[in-house]
Amino acid sequence: MSEHPAIVYRMIRSAYRWSDRAVVQRLPASWRERLQALLFGVARRAFPARISARSPREFAAGGAGGQPAHGPLPEWARAEVRALAEFEPALAALGADDAALEHYVIPWDMRYVGQRYAAARRQLRSGYACMLFMGGDLDALGAEALAACARPLAIVDVDDAPATAQRARAIGADYVALPAGDLDLNDHCAVLARLALQCAPRQLLHVAHPVLDACIERHGLALAAVAEVAPWPAGADQATVAP
Amino acid sequence: MSPEAGVPDMISAVVTFHRERQMAVATLHAIERMRRFAEARGLQVELVMTLDGGDPETEAAITTHPALRASDTLHHVTLSDLSLCRNHAIEHARGEFIAILDGDDLFSANWLVAAVDCIRTRGRSSIAHPRLMIAFGTWNAYWEQLDQDDPHFLPETLVSLNHWNACSVARREVFARCPYVVARVGESGFGFEDWHWNCETIAAGCVHHAVEHTFRLERRKAEGSLNLAHQSHAAIVRPSAFFDTL
């Protein structure tokens, strides 16, 4: 990030922290949650590289930087920890000192990954003979090779090229666009893999593409448990991909 | 596992050991503390332990521990998998309730009693988890687990987040219906057996509850933990019927 956007980011972060203390925390819970979700959505879109928080709850707990909050352990728990320190001396400090223990906030409201997966899953079914993970131009894959793909066929497009959906349906394939959007690479790979694991096609073909290569490198071993995994075109290299 | 309902008012504490060495001593003391608390309230607790490819030091720490009783059992196995160890122990468990405990963790004294109270109150398909998780060791932190009935619980978040740790108590029929599935992460690419079990149990109609005023102390290690193995292998949760319901 260049110097100017960094200054803007710090100014907005300061404003957010002030408004959180002065306004948001005084609102009824339902209003507070809605406002925090709105602010989180805006912050993620405006500063995607700076917001490490994964949910409104995590964002609100840590301020605009998304760092975990600190808070005291409840007294009943502290008393129990002190009692257990009799058996495990490493616990003595935790029962005595608030600063020794971080209050970690689980992002229970981290919805965007699950929503992206669920939206894609609802467009597909199970029992595919072939699932094609692709990016770029579908026509570039070659009409003959596409025609040779086993049916029923599902096409998962990580680039969401405008003509691909229409072309895919024209060849009788089910189609879902799954571009990165607001997913980072890990989440994008996980959603793609989850989709294939749940659909469990007989064969999973994947074109050369940075996202798909990363997905197969990370999850190829697991994917091979449900499908024959091979690079596109199917005949070029039939070796099952396993990291 | 026998199909019967199990011995009434008995909790079978399934404890999985591997190479915990002296850490097993503290765990067994903490379990004995829970057992005495439970016995004072009319519940029986049996320990059904597995030692999976363990070392002599861990075995000695378990077998010479003063908390062990004649009715407790230790099964020597070479399964190299936490899920299969739990299933093996559950097969040999006699209790009406099954509690899943790890061999290097500690627990609030009231955990087993409060969990059974929760299940009796909330229904046969309830699964109880501690409300608080406290990590200690290489990371000192605490966090809360959410109740599935809480309006803040959003099912789609289970795609990217495991809401409940393996530490759980449920009626034995829950474990008969939904056994753990093998998760040898290095061999399969699959992992997070507790996350998968949580998904499968929800798909089977169970409801996960976080029990107030209870905690599990989870030991965080610099190396050798299953969590670290999952991360290094980019493990992913096995397919589950739950993910088709979203």
pLDDT for the residue numbered A238: 39
B6/chain A closest Cα distance in angstroms: 31
- The burial of A119, by beta-carbon neighbours within 10 Å (0-12 exposed, 13-18 middle, 19 or more buried), is given as middle
Contacts of A224 in chain B (CB under 8 A): 189
- Do residues B178 and B87 make contact, with C-beta atoms less than 8 angstroms apart? no
ipTM here: 0.94
Least confident of B21-25, B118-122, B218-222: B218-222
Residue A76: its pLDDT value, please? 95
Q: Output the pLDDT for position A64.
A: 47
| Averaged pLDDT for residues B98-105 | 97
B183/B148: higher pLDDT: B148
Position B230 scores a pLDDT of 76
Chain B touched by A79 (CB under 8 Å): no
| Res A242: pLDDT | 36
b/e string for B89-107 if b means 16 or more Cβ within 10 A? Answer: bbebbbbbbbbbbbbbbbb
Is residue B126 within 8 Å of residue B149, measured between CB atoms? no
Residue A36: what pLDDT? 78
Residues A106, B143: Cα–Cα separation, whole Å = 7
pLDDT band at B195 (very low <50, low <70, confident <90, very high): very high
Q: B7-245 maps to which CATH number?
A: 3.90.550.10
A159 touches B at CB < 8 Å: no
Set of chain A residues whose Cβ sits within 8 Å of the Cβ of B231: none
Closest alpha carbon within chain B to A84: B30
Q: Is A168 or A24 the better-scoring residue by pLDDT?
A: A168
CA-angle at A157, arms to A215 and A149, nearest 5°:
95
Query: What is the model's pLDDT at position A62?
Result: 65
DSSP bridge pairs for B50: B16, B75
CA-based torsion, B68, B73, B75, B81: positive or negative: negative
CB-nearest to B236 from A100, A103, A222 is A222
Averaged confidence pLDDT in chain B: 95
Output the pLDDT for position A5: 67
Per-residue pLDDT averaged across A135-142, rounded?
90
Residue B194 identity: D
How many residue pairs from chains A and B have C-beta atoms closer than 8 A? 143
Question: Which of B106, B152, B217 has its CB closest to that of A109?
Answer: B152
Tell whether B157 is within 8 A of chain A (Cβ): yes
pLDDT at A67: 45
Confidence of residue B229 (pLDDT cuts 50, 70, 90): confident
Contacts of residue A150, defined as CB under 8 A and 6 or more positions apart, other chains included, come to A129, A130, A202, A203
pLDDT tens-place string over residues A25-77 = 788 877 877 887 888 888 877 777 777 777 777 777 765 444 445 568 999 99
Name the residue with tokens 């689980």: A106
Out of B30, B135, B159, closest to residue A117 by CB:
B159
Q: Where are the domains of chain B?
A: 7-245
Residues of chain B above pLDDT 90, percent:
90
Judge: B136–A90 Cβ closer than 8 Å, yes or no.
Answer: yes
Strand duo B106-107 + B126-137: pairing: unpaired
Of the listed ranges A25-34, B17-26, B91-100, B161-170, the one predicted with least confidence: A25-34
Give the pLDDT band of residue B1 (cuts 50, 70, 90).
low
* Whether the Cβ atoms of residue B233 and residue B189 lie closer than 8 Å to each other: yes
CB contact under 8 A, A87 and B26: yes
Q: State whether A197 and B239 contact (CB < 8 Å).
A: yes
- A222 and chain B in contact, CB less than 8 A: yes
Digit-coded pLDDT (tens) for B162-184: 999 999 999 999 999 999 999 88
pLDDT computed for residue B217 by the predictor: 97
Q: How far is CA A196 from CA A6, A108, A135, A225, A226, in A?
A: 39, 25, 16, 11, 8
Confidence of residue A14 (pLDDT cuts 50, 70, 90): confident
Which region among A8-17, A31-40, A202-211, B97-106 has the lowest average model confidence (pLDDT)? Answer: A8-17
Q: What is d(CA B187, CA B121) in angstroms, rounded to the nearest whole number? A: 41
For residue B88, the model assigns a pLDDT of 98
